[in-house]
Amino acid sequence: MRLFSVFFFLSMFLSPGFASENLLQEAIRTFDSLSSYAATMRSYGNTEQIIHYQYQKPGFVRMDFVKPHKGAALVYRPDTGKVQLRPFGIMKPLVLSLKPTAKLVRSPSGHRADESDLGVLLQNAQKLADRGTFTQRGEEERLGLSLDVLEISGHPDVQVGDVHRYVLWMDPSLKLPRIVESYDSGNKLLEGLVLEGLIINPDVSGVFQL
């Protein structure tokens, strides 16, 4: 009986679904342990954006836009609950203070600055996984790296927001996603996101003010 129990446990541990779940849990633990990160975000799909992104717990965010609106900058501060927006780089004195729900500071996909970090993404992926399935699709070469490909699909009629399926390309050294694609229930790509030059725990003191 004990031998059977050990064999059953090992079978579960080595199964693709269990391994995939471990990758997601490991990413959540990694995010929980970091204090800050920075990357260049490139989004694709219906719209294309290039943004230099900086984050510091408990939720400070800075975005410097390269495409579109080159020169524009945005800062979200959880201590004020406001988004500061400098819409034109050549008019630096002009800074607007807005709620994070304001349409002017939401992405074309409807994402809010205060919900733009990897922690929110990973928690949404976990919510979908709790009512869906994991699949580990092996490794793929992307960004000059060998990344583990993790697919998370909700059961029929299950979605988180508009997302029914995530595909995550996980960096085995950083233990965080480097590429993310989200799909709706009709398997249409909602958005793709690439994190280039991802740095964990950089010194970002003093950057969250326009």
pTM for this entry: 0.87
Residues with Cβ within 8 Å of 24's Cβ and at least 6 positions away in sequence, in order, are: 122, 125, 126, 129, 134, 150, 152, 168
Residue tagged 């580990």 (tokens): 136
pLDDT in tens, 101-150: 999 999 887 889 999 999 999 999 999 999 999 899 899 999 999 999 99
What the chain holds in terms of domains, given with CATH numbers, is 19-200 (2.50.20.10)
CA distances in angstroms from 84 to 24, 81, 111, 117, 189, listed in the order given: 33, 10, 16, 17, 30
pLDDT in tens, 69-88: 899 999 999 999 999 999 87
